[in-house]
Chains A and B, each alone.
Chain A
Amino acid sequence: MAVLTVGVAVQRNLFSVVVLSGIYSFLMATVLVALDAVDVAMTEASVGAGISTVLLLGALSLCGGEEAKPLQRPWLPLAVAIVIVAALVYGTLGLPGFSDPQAPIHVVVAPRYLAQSIAETGVPNVVTSVLASYRGYDTLGETTVVFTAGAGVIALLRRARRRRAGKTPR
């Protein structure tokens, strides 16, 4: 995956960048399967590798396949990125260790979900019961976000089309 990331950064041909990021998504999905997060792996494989690849290819066919040469040396963005990465890494030092059984998330609500899920909701898949029932508000919010994204795309692209049609009346 590291090789793929370097390839995406170095490669100037956008078509191969899209293909490489699709492969990256599939590898990510296998990593998630290895972590026993099958639901997330499914989402990653279908959205990350499937649909976003199709959409990026569609965008490529609209805007051409070669990346433009950068206008100036990207030193300032590089510095900003390094500072942010340093801050994020510093932040992770405060998190509990990976798969630490004493981490707060494993001692407060997770045992209750795992123990009560079948009795309270009758759904054997805890991911589903947490998503749809215990955390129903969050999922409603997510659905609204998806809806807003779709509405935004419709609004932007429709308006562009109408304006063009207005300029060149036929």
Chain B
Amino acid sequence: MKGLLILRIVSKLLIPYILVFALYVQFHGDFGPGGGFQAGVIAAAAIMLYGLIFGLPSARRMVPDAVVETMVGLGVLIYAGVGVVGLLLGGNYLDYFVLHRDPVAGQLRGIFWVEVGVAVTVSGVMLKIFYMFAGRRRREDA
């Protein structure tokens, strides 16, 4: 699809906004609709759009496989790590009250990191599946 001028320019214009919207959904999830899952999916969709328009190799150059695979595991580790930190600070597993002197601030901090973990894993998995599916035919031809 490299020759389609309109698609290339429109997607080039759109992708930054999609990524910013993903960040907005991520960090504004406390106040409006959204959260880690949606933000992860939207961020992955931005990269997928890039891969669809500019070809899989350039998407892979921008977000390499190693990064994606690390993200897949890292998110779960962040989430579980929040629980372990709560344990170390003397609370129950996934207790956020102990993360800060003020229990409400501790809750906010715990929810923030948990949502980060969800977003990282979800976008990593979505991108990985996309790479896997889109990369198959190309490898068979080669």
Contacts and interface: CB of A to CB of B under 8 A. Distances in A.
Contact of A125 (B31, B45, B79, B103): B31
A103 interface: no
Contacts of A136: 83, 94, 96, 110, 114
A2 interface: no
Contact of A161 (B96, B126, B134, B139): B139
Interface in B93-142: 94, 96, 103-105, 107-108, 110-111, 114-115, 117-118, 121-122, 124-126, 128-130, 132-134, 136-137, 139-140
Interface stretch (A3-11, A16-24, A54-62, A105-113): A54-62
A123 B108 contact: yes
A129 interface: yes
A165 to B, nearest CB: 9
B140 to A, nearest CB: 8
How many A residues are at the interface, by size bracket?
A: 35 or more
Contacts of B72: 147, 150-151, 154
Nearest to A161: B139
B108 A54 contact: no
A54 B52 CA distance: 9
A42 B39 CA distance: 10
A31 to B, nearest CB: 15
Contacts of A125: 29-33
A152 to B, nearest CB: 10
B35 A122 contact: no
A137 B34 CA distance: 19
Interface string A149-170: 1110110010001001000000
Contacts of A137: 94
A121 B76 CA distance: 22
Given A46-B45, A154-B132, A161-B139, A127 B122 contact: no
A143 B118 contact: yes
B44 A128 contact: no
Interface in A98-135: 119-125, 127-129, 131-133
A129 B30 CA distance: 8
Given A46-B41, A127-B33, A143-B75, A153 B132 contact: yes
Contact of A147 (B37, B48, B73, B136): B73
Contact of B125 (A58, A147, A164): A147
25 contacts: A38-B32, A39-B34, A42-B38, A50-B41, A54-B45, A54-B48, A120-B104, A121-B108, A122-B108, A123-B30, A125-B29, A125-B30, A125-B31, A133-B110, A136-B114, A140-B94, A143-B76, A146-B121, A146-B122, A147-B72, A147-B73, A153-B132, A154-B72, A157-B132, A161-B139
Interface of A: 38-39, 41-43, 46-47, 50-51, 54-55, 58-59, 61-62, 119-125, 127-129, 131-133, 136-137, 139-140, 142-144, 146-147, 149-151, 153-154, 157, 161, 164
